[in-house]
Structure 1
């Protein structure tokens, strides 16, 4: 027993906890990559349980003071209540994963995520190109009244999925390397974004990609804006306030497009909906329950709210409820405050871009932890805020 107690020191507990987190991160990333491919896998729920237990154990093994334990227990109680009400355990799993990341080497974890994802996505492309798994291209109706439209998917099953994976890699690159990148590297990424447009034919994704890279270039080379508090306030107005307001509006008018074009307002709504490939009207007409329309929003969701649709912020409100989503918005606002204290504009760029992208796509609103690569950043930043350890990050010379 004495030998066991000597081994089970705080240092060793921390090492074990970090190993558990690293293992959980690897498993979640591999599972997410497999889900992006055409591979059929039916053991997801068991994998989710394993990674939850690993991160749960990691939280318990780490040293916390009374205040921190109170926060941890409050988060667990709230997310467990959400799970019991909705039948969805994502908030509980995601929160535990983020708390397990509280003291990790964040840059190392993000680089690890970037290179594992890049390797996994490359394998998917190669398997499709060599005819082993998945298609290189697909002919289908992609919402533009053309049943014979050809788009490339390179093993990802859908052109939007292909772009979403490339977009995630771009965001990871911006977070890891953007603060020291040269102009030629950004020009190369602009070119990649244009190539992705010609491959996937996604105009909205092209616009968001260009917007993201433009923000990244500005914060890289316009050094003074990192110090301006107004920059972070403006980011807070976009992320998530403007995105949530637009999503609420879309859910409230989702019954109108195509069927009630009697006024100029309804004509404008219809034109916008056409640009968004009918995403607004699909909130009302995409299912018999009108899943996603404002009438289906509740303080807490229910076990029947399982339908999928593209608009990510609306999906958050529909899947989890108004109260949990408002708390998620507050977490994002707190992250932006931490970014201001740390003068961390790269994280701001990523948060703003993800928020805008999530208005039209639900890539990051998913049961897969591996899709939301900002969870480790959330865990580290929130814990630094709780512990009063905020300090400005060193900027490139």
Structure 2
């Protein structure tokens, strides 16, 4: 996808230059260029471009969902051509849909072009070093999401994800894919449900649950919250995916608090409360980076560490702290990221992105997350805040929050990415 990344950056740069020419020719005031939204390249057929641009994004989103949920299930072991022939074609379909939406189906003002263009420049820069296609796909999807109603995006994810996951489970329990459905760990069995790891299945299920929550938001009922809690119980008991299960329980708790807070109508948060929500990002980042510094190695195995309190916490997090400590000693931190081997497995998103994408991208991501949390809290959109806080907790335990299928809440960052007014952060 190097060619796509280069071409998209080149077209965005060309479009920005052409868009600024009227200012240089004094046909457009700089203030108007900065505020007023326009299409790139030409203003013709605006209504059709908005309509078909939205369709292109939704199609790309559904293709993305299918690639992850089906092509990356254990079906790839039965039918290798899914990975060698089908997935490359679907990748191109997905990226061309997103690219068409970005270049032809989206309106920008000067501020949006600068902010979004800078983000993609850094994303393309780190992609060339880390070569993680999922990270590039996430950034491109986020750019393409502008002006598409969040509810439509979530409906598209559910319309594709639910039947595709059901197909995987039917094939699995029919014995067609992954007939040996259990792996042994510490004397117990963790069911795979047709995937290569139970946490992969847990992430797919949790992503669909989160998509439903984002679709319903303020309309969520108590029975629906009970259903989300039941999904968490299933994830804890079935695949024993603790990270997804615990985050499901956290999500239910936060949504219940949001429901109680807004039972008499919307209640925007004050600056202190909103600032506290935003402060969760640097706080969790600091914990992620500082805790491994206290590790004392006392044995040959990855989790043979001290002191005892850190050992207990590390065991609870399935060696995530000790593996981060190992990464500190194995990798150098490179400003534009690097390719990562299979070991040590970095399931903490802050540590993972620090090495995969470098510190510049980490700062950008944290700034966007803080801006989103602050903005939604100030507007009183507490369901969005609950989803973002939950994904912060999930990211502390799983790096697959870089997949839209596990973290559809990343689309909530779209307003911050394009520096939109807060009243436009959730297009409806």
Q: State the TM-score, normalizing by the size of structure 2.
A: 0.77
- SS of aligned partner of 1:139: strand
Is residue 292–residue 318 contact of structure 1 (8 Å, CA) maintained in 2?
no
Q: Which runs of 5+ in 2 are unaligned?
A: 1-41, 77-82
- SS of aligned partner of 2:196: coil
Deviations 1:146-204 (A, max 9, x none): 2x421222212322222222222222222222422222322233233223212133445
- SS of aligned partner of 1:140: strand
Is residue 136–residue 152 contact of structure 1 (8 Å, CA) maintained in 2?
no
* Cα distance change of structure 1 residues 257 and 195 upon mapping to structure 2, 3 Å threshold: farther
The yes-or-no answer on 1:96 pairing with 2:144 is no
Of 101, 109, 126, the match for 1:58: 101
Q: CA deviation at 1:129?
A: 1.4
Match of 2:170 in 1: 126
Is residue 295–residue 310 contact of structure 2 (8 Å, CA) maintained in 1?
no
Q: CA deviation at 1:331?
A: 0.6
Match of 1:3 in 2: none
Aligned length, in residue pairs: 372
Q: State the TM-score, normalizing by the size of structure 1.
A: 0.82
* Cα distance change of structure 1 residues 340 and 249 upon mapping to structure 2, 3 Å threshold: same
Is residue 125–residue 155 contact of structure 1 (8 Å, CA) maintained in 2?
yes
Match of 2:313 in 1: 272
- SS of aligned partner of 1:18: helix
The CA RMSD measured in Å over matched residues stands at: 3.2
Q: CA deviation at 1:76?
A: 3.1
Match of 1:196 in 2: 235
Deviations 1:343-369 (A, max 9, x none): 21111111111111111112213xx55
Q: CA deviation at 1:327?
A: 0.7
Q: Distance in 2 between matches of 1:306 and 1:156?
A: 18
Of 58, 67, 71, the match for 2:115: 71
Of 39, 43, 48, the match for 1:12: 48
Is residue 269–residue 380 contact of structure 2 (8 Å, CA) maintained in 1?
no
Q: CA deviation at 1:265?
A: 6.6
- SS of aligned partner of 2:84: coil
Q: Distance in 1 between matches of 2:156 and 2:209?
A: 15
- SS of aligned partner of 2:423: coil
* Cα distance change of structure 1 residues 310 and 382 upon mapping to structure 2, 3 Å threshold: closer
Q: Which runs of 5+ in 1 are unaligned?
A: 1-5, 285-289
Match of 2:423 in 1: 390
Residue range with higher mean Cα deviation, 131-140 or 317-326: 131-140
* Cα distance change of structure 1 residues 226 and 314 upon mapping to structure 2, 3 Å threshold: farther
The yes-or-no answer on 1:373 pairing with 2:415 is no
- SS of aligned partner of 1:200: coil
After TM superposition, the structure 1 = structure 2 runs for residues 265-304 of structure 1, keeping only pairs within 5 Å, are 266-284=307-325, 290-291=326-327, 296-303=332-339
